A and B are shown apart, each in its own frame.
Chain A
Amino acid sequence: MARLYEYQGKQLLKGAKVPIPQGEVVTTPQEVRKIAEKIGKPVAIKSQVWAGGRGKAGGIKFANNPDDAEKVAKDLFGMEIKNLKVEKALVEEKLNVDKEYYVGVIIDASREVRAPVVMFSTEGGMDIESVPAEKIAQINVDVLRGFRLYDALNLCVKLKVPTKVLPSIAQAIMGLYQTFKGYNCRTAEINPLIQTKEGKIIAGDCRMAIDDSSVFRHPELGIDVAREAPTPPTEFDKIAWWIEEGDLRGTCYIAQMAPDKKGLGYVGYHGIGGGGAILGVDALNRQGLKIANYADTSGNPTAAKVYRAAKVIISQPDIEGYMLGGFIVANQEQWHHAHGVVKALREELPKRPGFPCVLLLCGNKEKESMEILKEGTADLQNPIEIYGSDKVYETEFLAKRMRALIDEYRKKRGIKA
């Protein structure tokens, strides 16, 4: 899921006529001061990071005047919350909270539903998981009929929301659903939806994630990498996404697992097929090896796509080996993989003397693929071992081979195993 920051989500809500607090997003304490002056009231300064529990981690500060605002902002910028550096903050008017509600839209994939579910609760402000069931009202949306205003009103009525705020809360629920649908969200949440002492309904915080496969429909969101990840994309992730973005033939998924490879034992990992690729990782871990990246090229990608993926994986600095983990008897013609990998190996291995590779490739056109791999790497000086479908479930054996080759590679470099 391509996640949005709170400030981005709030702009989308504003477009759907959901009231949001007065405020702006900034990157320096001086700017925080300026916005606090402009607001002219006590402010909240909220770090913009992809982490839950921001408040508890000290990522939200309050200030009564511009001086204080600048002061607390100095502590906020550069701070780390769950390993994410604070680089942006949203400065907003502090609200006089009377009551907090929760509104969310999720997709339920279970067979009885297979539809969006709109959830509403009178117990906002906390994790919806910890709210008792009787305090949650929900409705499965029939997407052909749509979500109607009276559906939203009924959610409020079910939980006995007072009549005077009921229409504005229902409007906020509608606004969230329209945002969810209009921007093709995977999930969208307003938590808390705040009722102020003045009787206004305002979105206090929001979380949204856009469906990866719909990102192309929303260039206005400026999302670099349409991939689900717990952290913002690294340069490596951006390169990996570039391989996939413009080419719908087959899938290429590469994710960096260890941005700072400290110590030994990292393998450039090139899996084929999600399910099987995961098995190989398990086995490598048992041999004391770690994967620098996770990858999956499947769905019959072209040789060009496989080549780009392999090249990105092998050219990572500080890795000690490359494993092509084709732990599947694939239906796709594997010669595309063989050609792509050979081209990448021929370009990259001469730069890395002694760097070992274990290649497992099984399935359709296996015999031809083996020949391509063997002939294509025959004159390379690096240790390269090539295996086929008799080893498809021999994850332990292959991980041990990788380990043994890496140990030899260390010896050659004078590193103690």
Chain B
Amino acid sequence: MAILLEKNTTILVQGITGREGSARAAFMKGYGTKVVAGVTPGRGGEEVSGIPVFNTVEEAVRMKGPIDASVTFVPGPGLKDAVLEALDAGIKFIVMPVERVPLYDILEMMAYGKQKGARLLGPGSIGIISPGIAAAGWLGGTPEFAKRVFVPGPVGVISRSGGQSGTVPWAIQQAGLGVTTVLHIGTEPVVGQSFGDILPLFEADKDTKGVAIFGEIGGPYEEEAADAVRTKKFTKPLVVYVAGAWAPEGMRFSHASSIIERGKGSAKSKIASLKEAGVHVVDRPDEIAPTIKRLLKA
């Protein structure tokens, strides 16, 4: 078992003929994911790694039947249209490995997605992977790399850093454990799925025995995790690391999308709120894996 991606989840790749779209479509398919269709306007009728390409999402759904999830490999300024198109075609889970998306576009996507009852992962999420089951996005990169780094096991991983969503599972594997599902929530100022949305899914997944979070300064997400624990929406062992304690005020660290404003969102306030809820906060990232291992043994 895993969350959000199951063995039979059907996937569409929007922007499948581009540099990233074609490379990662090949990866996802090679990893065993059910990539049933791709979309690039004006390229309908072609194939990418044996995956049929359509001109629109609606056309893809008409030809292939209902599709569960879409991965959007389109440039930031074009993302809103791609997401609305997928939502209108009835797709309920959208993974958006796209950065530099205009903020107001993001807000409109979020509002429309909510109306449609869909989950939007990202924007700026490098993706989601459930080892041995499926991958959506570029988390995993290539089938060989994905198999080497992500091994099945009892730990759920959620990261705010794209790079660390590969590194933490690798460290967990080095510690002799594995992962159920790994997700990167995304780098943009507003994202569709944060810790508060994902922790209850791991709570419901019987194979997930505990969760590791790679957090960062800025934003309300770590506080949401603390809330989920406090309100018993998540009751399994939870280890959190919060990166960026040294950052000067008002500075944004690119992928960290971390703005410390008015004392809120600082490492200090996040750590305090997590500790108060009884979460295991570690001081260094290399303590994440040994700590979750120790907690799962107990």
Decide if B255 touches A109 in the complex (CB within 8 Å): no
Decide if A211 touches B243 in the complex (CB within 8 Å): no
Decide if B216 touches A393 in the complex (CB within 8 Å): no
What 0/1 pattern do residues 232 to 248 of B give for CB contact below 8 A with A?
A: 00000000000111111
Decide if B161 touches A276 in the complex (CB within 8 Å): yes
Decide if B103 touches A211 in the complex (CB within 8 Å): yes
Contacts of A281 in B (CB 8 A): 246
Shortest distance from the beta carbon of A240 to any chain B beta carbon, whole Å: 11
Contacts of B31 in A (CB 8 A): none
Contacts of A276 in B (CB 8 A): 161, 163-164, 167
Q: Does A63 contact B (CB under 8 A)?
A: no
Shortest distance from the beta carbon of B112 to any chain A beta carbon, whole Å: 7
Q: Does A184 contact B (CB under 8 A)?
A: yes
Contacts of A294 in B (CB 8 A): 253
Decide if A214 touches B110 in the complex (CB within 8 Å): no
Decide if B107 touches A109 in the complex (CB within 8 Å): no
Given the interface pairs A275-B243, A331-B140, the reply to whether A229 lies near B102 with Cβ below 8 Å is: no
Decide if A278 touches B244 in the complex (CB within 8 Å): yes
Shortest distance from the beta carbon of B51 to any chain A beta carbon, whole Å: 20
B98-135 residues with Cβ-Cβ distance < 8 A to A are 99-104, 107-108, 110-112, 114-115, 126
Alpha-carbon separation in the docked complex, A55 to B68 (Å): 56
Contacts of B141 in A (CB 8 A): 330-333, 363-364
Q: Does B189 contact A (CB under 8 A)?
A: yes
A189-234 residues with Cβ-Cβ distance < 8 A to B are 211-214, 216-217, 227-230
Interface centre among B163, B219, B220, B243, by most chain A C-beta atoms within 10 angstroms, is B163
Among the 9-residue stretches A12-20, A247-255, A259-267, the one with 4 or more Cβ atoms under 8 Å from chain B is A247-255
Decide if B107 touches A363 in the complex (CB within 8 Å): no
Q: Does A79 contact B (CB under 8 A)?
A: no
Shortest distance from the beta carbon of A384 to any chain B beta carbon, whole Å: 23
Alpha-carbon separation in the docked complex, A184 to B108 (Å): 12
Decide if B145 touches A110 in the complex (CB within 8 Å): no
Shortest distance from the beta carbon of B90 to any chain A beta carbon, whole Å: 18
Decide if A107 touches B107 in the complex (CB within 8 Å): yes
Shortest distance from the beta carbon of B235 to any chain A beta carbon, whole Å: 19
Decide if A393 touches B171 in the complex (CB within 8 Å): yes
Q: Does B159 contact A (CB under 8 A)?
A: yes
Contacts of B257 in A (CB 8 A): 274
Q: Does B60 contact A (CB under 8 A)?
A: no
Among the 9-residue stretches A28-36, A150-158, A295-303, A312-320, the one with 4 or more Cβ atoms under 8 Å from chain B is A295-303
Alpha-carbon separation in the docked complex, A389 to B166 (Å): 12
Alpha-carbon separation in the docked complex, A393 to B19 (Å): 31
Given the interface pairs A230-B248, A330-B166, the reply to whether A144 lies near B77 with Cβ below 8 Å is: no
- Chain B interface residue count: which class? 35 or more
Alpha-carbon separation in the docked complex, A281 to B256 (Å): 14
Q: Does A186 contact B (CB under 8 A)?
A: yes
Among the 9-residue stretches A111-119, A371-379, A401-409, the one with 4 or more Cβ atoms under 8 Å from chain B is A111-119
Alpha-carbon separation in the docked complex, A114 to B140 (Å): 29
A298-340 residues with Cβ-Cβ distance < 8 A to B are 298-300, 327-333
Q: Does B262 contact A (CB under 8 A)?
A: yes
Per a CB cutoff under 8 Å, which of B161, B189, B192, B216 touches A107?
B189
Interface centre among A142, A329, A332, A365, by most chain B C-beta atoms within 10 angstroms, is A329
Per a CB cutoff under 8 Å, which of B112, B162, B190, B192 touches A298?
B162
Per a CB cutoff under 8 Å, which of B163, B219, B254 touches A328?
B163
A214's closest neighbor in chain B, by CB? Answer: B102
Per a CB cutoff under 8 Å, which of B20, B140, B170, B189 touches A389?
B170
Q: Does B252 contact A (CB under 8 A)?
A: yes
Q: Does A69 contact B (CB under 8 A)?
A: no
Contacts of B189 in A (CB 8 A): 107, 109, 186, 211
Decide if A184 touches B103 in the complex (CB within 8 Å): yes
Shortest distance from the beta carbon of A105 to any chain B beta carbon, whole Å: 12
A254's closest neighbor in chain B, by CB? Answer: B254
Decide if A275 touches B142 in the complex (CB within 8 Å): no
Decide if A228 touches B167 in the complex (CB within 8 Å): no
- Chain A interface residue count: which class? 35 or more
Contacts of B102 in A (CB 8 A): 184, 211, 213-214, 217
Decide if A274 touches B166 in the complex (CB within 8 Å): no
Q: Does A285 contact B (CB under 8 A)?
A: yes
Alpha-carbon separation in the docked complex, A253 to B115 (Å): 35
Contacts of A104 in B (CB 8 A): none
A228's closest neighbor in chain B, by CB? Answer: B252
Shortest distance from the beta carbon of A3 to any chain B beta carbon, whole Å: 10
A384-417 residues with Cβ-Cβ distance < 8 A to B are 389, 392-393
Decide if B115 touches A144 in the complex (CB within 8 Å): yes
Shortest distance from the beta carbon of A12 to any chain B beta carbon, whole Å: 15
Interface centre among A109, A228, A330, A392, by most chain B C-beta atoms within 10 angstroms, is A109
Q: Does A181 contact B (CB under 8 A)?
A: yes
A182's closest neighbor in chain B, by CB? Answer: B104
Decide if B111 touches A296 in the complex (CB within 8 Å): no
Q: Does B139 contact A (CB under 8 A)?
A: yes
A297's closest neighbor in chain B, by CB? Answer: B254
Decide if B254 touches A393 in the complex (CB within 8 Å): no
Contacts of A136 in B (CB 8 A): none
Q: Does A282 contact B (CB under 8 A)?
A: yes
Decide if B216 touches A114 in the complex (CB within 8 Å): no
Decide if B163 touches A272 in the complex (CB within 8 Å): yes
Q: Does A273 contact B (CB under 8 A)?
A: yes
Per a CB cutoff under 8 Å, which of A144, A229, A275, A393 touches B214?
A275
**A residues engaging B (CB < 8 A)?**
1, 107, 109-111, 114-116, 129, 142-144, 181, 184, 186, 211-214, 216-217, 227-230, 248-249, 251, 253, 255, 272-279, 281-282, 285, 294, 296, 298-300, 327-333, 363-365, 389, 392-393
Between-chain CB contacts (< 8 Å), 22 pairs: A217-B102, A274-B216, A274-B253, A275-B214, A276-B161, A276-B167, A278-B253, A282-B245, A298-B162, A299-B99, A299-B126, A328-B167, A329-B163, A329-B167, A330-B141, A330-B166, A331-B126, A331-B139, A331-B140, A331-B141, A331-B162, A365-B142
Known: A228-B250, A229-B252, A299-B255. 12 other contacts (CB 8 A): A111-B196, A114-B107, A143-B111, A144-B112, A184-B102, A186-B189, A214-B102, A214-B103, A230-B249, A275-B216, A328-B164, A329-B163
Sorted nearest first, the 4 A-B pairs with minimum C-beta distance are A275-B161, A273-B163, A328-B163, A274-B255
